[in-house]
Amino acid sequence: MKVNDYKIILIGIVLIFFFWFAEALLHILMFDPDENVMINLLFPPTHEFWMRVIVVFILVIFSISTQKIFNKLHNMNEKLQKVEKNLRESYDRSCFYKDLFTHDVNNIFSVINSSAELISNYY
């Protein structure tokens, strides 16, 4: 698997770390200015921890579902390009066969015409 297959998930993980840090900093600035930043980052209070975990869970689910949809759309786009290429080749080939058939029909008519002239010369 390429990194591009997981690009949105990686962006989601970066957003999760940013959210966790920003929420911890905001909690310290607004509610506990005397608390240590590292302690709040690593060991937040229970209600803060569950609130952060719920948001992290939502972000993870959203990133995974978005990545799956993006991958499906990308695969469908590749398949559509292949189908379009095949259809263009088929159309070009059909034009060639149409011209070839028209040329052969003209040859058949000229052979019939020549045969009719030869027959009319002898009878």
Q: pLDDT category, 108, cuts 50, 70, 90?
A: low
- Which residues does 13 contact at the CB level (< 8 Å), separation at least 6? 63
**Cβ–Cβ < 8 Å for 60, 6:** no
- Which residues does 56 contact at the CB level (< 8 Å), separation at least 6? 16, 19, 20
Q: What pLDDT was estimated at residue 67? A: 92
Q: pLDDT category, 115, cuts 50, 70, 90?
A: low
Mean pLDDT of the 51-72 span: 93
Tens of pLDDT, residue by residue over 5-57, are: 788 889 999 999 999 999 888 888 888 788 787 887 888 888 889 999 999 99
Q: What pLDDT was estimated at residue 1? A: 52
